[in-house]
Structure 1
Amino acid sequence: MNEFDFKEQLEIKITKLSQNIWEDKVGGISLNKWLENFQTNDDPSKCEQTHALYLVSNFMYFGTREIRELLKSLYRDKFLKPLVQTIRRQNQDTKLLRDIQSSIKKDLSETRFLGIGNPSESGTHLLYFFRQENNLSKDDFLHSHEIISMARSPVNQQVTLRLKNSKIRRYIFLDDVCGSGTQAIEYSKTLLSEIKALDPTIKICYFSLFSTAHGMKNIRKNTHFDEVGCIFELDESFKCFSDEARQFKGEAELPISKDFAKAFCEKYGINLLNSQEHALGYKSSQLLLGFAHNTPDNTLPIIWGETATWTPLFKRYQKY
């Protein structure tokens, strides 16, 4: 297969993906503008543009509709079903719907859902859809700063911490994607430690729509979360330059090279982020993943990086 035919097939595939799955995020003009970031070569095995097209043809994009469905699954599979099973076990395996619904209502009143990060970040952005899709009340949600309050003694002016609402027995933190688990670990060192110090019986959960296997393991090992889970776990095969990379399973039959692709992705990634560590995504996550609301920094920077001389394909809204 010559370079022209292969590139043409890739461009057709990307056009169809954009029209049918990517919510028309990528048009011919934007794709060509992005391709100008890369060098070309008559030999497809040494052509950066051909390899860049191939990488993008394996991009996983989740639009608003898919995110909403995933949020329904998260509520059902990570919260509601386990809760029903617990209620039944505590009531001699009852199947009486009235009793189960009554207990669910009570447990829900003692539960609050929160986003990871401050109110402007993607974790909290998802809460709006999460509330709508699962028919929840706005009272079932709060910000992390509403969990603990400070009181100053009028006698010695000493400041003490207390839980604002002692009736809340479960806090569930939601996130869109977990790469390394760093943010959840930072939360554990600060907020979760304070909650557990005030009341160790309170249950605190972390649920993400997507997570690397490493991220899940890291959070389970290094945080105070009582329960950790995700809807879609990304194993090593989703890291596009790993030994098990699914994107390059048919490499021998195609005019592409994983080593060549990794080399130029790393080269440009270092220039874009001024970092060797994050040149292939945050802490070398090496993902090809994006959402309607943003592109995570775990994705290859050549996809979302933006400078005066580099045009992104899927824009990332940075945290400044």
Structure 2
Amino acid sequence: MRSLVLNRNESTCLLSSDFRSENPLTQTRTFHIQTRCATYPNRPKTLIKRIDNITIDIISARLKNVVSPLDIIKWLNNFEENEIKYAIDIASNLTVYTSYEIEEIINSSLNILFPKLEANDIIIINPIGNFGKSGSMVTYFFQKTDFHRKHNKKIIMLPTVQNFTAEADKNYSLVLLDDFVGSGNSIKTYFEDSIDSLKSNFKEILFVGVAGMKQGVELINPIFDRIEIPKSNIFKKAFSSEASYFGYRNYIQHREFCFKYGIKLTSPKVRKDKSEKFINALGYENSQALVSFSHGSPNNTLPIIWSNKNNWFPLIPRFFSDKISVSKEFRKSISYELSILKEFGSENLHNEFFTHQIKKGKRSFSSVSKIDFSIYAIIKLSRSGFTEINICQKLGILTKDYEQILEIGKQRGLFNQGNNLTLFGLEIYQDAKKCIKRKNRNFEYESADYFAVKETNYIPRIFNGKS
């Protein structure tokens, strides 16, 4: 058996493992996870779960590596030992859309809706929701599509159409854009409040979404001229008799499991008789969705996936505050790695990531600047497969800041004009990985007993002058 220190910051996780199998060719590793979390003081100080690494790999692959194995384990630690099987089933049936998939779906949908544009055709893109919500996030992905690059001169992006004025010689098509259709009520309300009175300004009013619930799509279908959501991305309620996530009509225990925690993670609706009804315990207005995106989860999805209420550790967060928390933890881990590189790194690493000079009297010290920190983090994240928007979320920076940091990285020869690592940048990255791995190796094989306070019985060799 061996023990691995996974995180040495506020939340310390000791991961020990041993092999248990009669057949050495099919050995699987069982993890014994012990966490002590100062970040969540109301939780038990010690939580222990047993799960094999094959299961973790399967869940991670199902979630398209949007969630790290350690975060999956932390999420599983929300539940009781005998409930882990239900949690694994829920995570294994969660559909996650990556940034690349979102871009491709939007691009494909718009090409279907607009196979050909005439000279006087203009497309108005209007994201549903306020700035920072899912609609405006999808607008970012839309701007990355080939459709936008090809027709950008015929596209007008408006946060609201209230003050829109149409020109007589133009044919305007209005496209409402959102990532997810849940109950459909918010989209219907938005249409009635902001669009309905202006319908005469547009040749047609369309809706483009990445995914949605069957009931919600059916609700909004009559109010649009056309709706474009891939049929394979329209889902039934997780605990409906029509669905088959957990086997034919074999969902009652899973529903009770999710509802048990859902009532703790959502606020009840108070009826006229002052009784409480937890209509959001299985997602907003009982949506029962099992859908998330790389940039966050809709509130229609089961709250056990995204909530952070009552010290709950989310699998894929929804709220901006959750993302800030994740960003803080990531920045701490980057600071820890840079401290190792500062102490044990090569000359090249010192030259690239410790450019800030500090003078104290006659002595001079090199330190990490904000740019050094950001460049190292971007290199690490990009090599792990994160996209631009995910990197910005992790670091808590704007897109324009990201682009400025990359420009400095290019000046140092770390990135090329395509924003990819150069051979020199790759060499620096590999050098850093080796250094960190070498210095962490001392921690990997320390047993949990190493960190315990040991009692020492001191017996003097001489007492009262006698040996």
Category of TM-score, reference length = shorter chain: 0.7 to 0.9
Q: Counterparts of 1:284 and 1:20 in 2: how far apart (Å)?
A: 24
Question: Residue type of the partner of 1:143?
Answer: L
Q: Counterparts of 1:35 and 1:130 in 2: how far apart (Å)?
A: 34
* 1:205 lines up with 2:206 in the alignment: yes
* 1:267 lines up with 2:267 in the alignment: no
Once the two structures are overlaid, the 10-residue window that deviates more, 129-138 or 186-195, is 129-138
Q: Give runs of aligned pairs for residues 120-131 of structure 1, distance below 5 A.
A: 120-131=132-143
Q: What residue is the counterpart of 1:116 in the other structure?
A: 128
* 1:23 lines up with 2:65 in the alignment: yes
Question: Residue type of the partner of 1:240?
Answer: A
CA positional deviation for 1:193: 2.0
Q: Counterparts of 2:188 and 2:207 in 1: how far apart (Å)?
A: 11
Question: Residue type of the partner of 1:259?
Answer: I
Correspondence for 2:158 among 143, 147, 157? 143
Q: What residue is the counterpart of 2:338 in the other structure?
A: none
Q: Counterparts of 2:255 and 2:208 in 1: how far apart (Å)?
A: 31
* 1:178 lines up with 2:171 in the alignment: no
CA positional deviation for 1:120: 1.9
* 1:80 lines up with 2:79 in the alignment: no
Q: What secondary structure, in the 3-state scheme, does the structure 1 residue paired with 2:309 have? A: coil
Q: What secondary structure, in the 3-state scheme, does the structure 1 residue paired with 2:119 have? A: helix
Q: What secondary structure, in the 3-state scheme, does the structure 2 residue paired with 1:30 have? A: helix
CA positional deviation for 1:148: 3.4
CA positional deviation for 1:200: 6.3
C-alpha deviations, 1:17-65, integer Å up to 9, x for none?
42585235131x322222222112xxxxxx3111111111111111111
Question: Residue type of the partner of 1:191?
Answer: S
Q: Counterparts of 1:32 and 1:119 in 2: how far apart (Å)?
A: 33
Correspondence for 1:54 among 85, 89, 108? 89
Correspondence for 2:104 among 66, 69, 73? 69
Q: Give runs of aligned pairs for residues 155-234 of structure 1, distance below 5 A.
A: 163=165, 165=167, 167=170, 169-196=172-199, 199=200, 202-221=203-222, 223=223, 225-232=224-231
Q: Counterparts of 2:214 and 2:99 in 1: how far apart (Å)?
A: 24
Q: What secondary structure, in the 3-state scheme, does the structure 1 residue paired with 2:175 have? A: strand
C-alpha spacing 1:74/1:58, structure 2 compared with 1 (3 Å): same
Q: Counterparts of 2:198 and 2:228 in 1: how far apart (Å)?
A: 20
Q: What residue is the counterpart of 2:80 in the other structure?
A: 39
The 8 Å contact of residues 206 and 228 in structure 1, kept in 2 or not, is answered as yes
RMSD between superposed Cα atoms in Å: 2.9
C-alpha deviations, 1:151-190, integer Å up to 9, x for none?
xxxxxxxxxxx73655352111111110111121111211
CA positional deviation for 1:250: 6.7
Correspondence for 2:308 among 282, 306, 309? 306
The 8 Å contact of residues 182 and 212 in structure 2, kept in 1 or not, is answered as yes
Structure with the larger RCO, 1 or 2 (CA within 8 Å, 6+ apart): 1
Q: Give runs of aligned pairs for residues 240-255 of structure 1, distance below 5 A.
A: 240-249=238-247
CA positional deviation for 1:232: 3.8
Question: Residue type of the partner of 1:227?
Answer: R
- How many residues end up aligned between the 2 structures? 262
Q: What secondary structure, in the 3-state scheme, does the structure 1 residue paired with 2:229 have? A: strand
The 8 Å contact of residues 14 and 57 in structure 1, kept in 2 or not, is answered as no
CA positional deviation for 1:248: 1.2
Gaps (5+ residues) in structure 1?
Answer: 41-46, 85-103, 150-161, 252-256
Q: What residue is the counterpart of 1:239 in the other structure?
A: 237
What is the TM-score when the length of structure 2 is the normalising length? 0.51
Q: What secondary structure, in the 3-state scheme, does the structure 2 residue paired with 1:163 have? A: coil
Q: What residue is the counterpart of 2:6 in the other structure?
A: none
Q: What residue is the counterpart of 2:295 in the other structure?
A: 293
Question: Residue type of the partner of 2:252?
Answer: D
C-alpha deviations, 1:242-279, integer Å up to 9, x for none?
1132211278xxxxx62122112112111101231111
C-alpha spacing 1:217/1:228, structure 2 compared with 1 (3 Å): same
Question: Residue type of the partner of 1:34?
Answer: W
Q: Counterparts of 1:56 and 1:10 in 2: how far apart (Å)?
A: 15
Question: Residue type of the partner of 1:271?
Answer: K
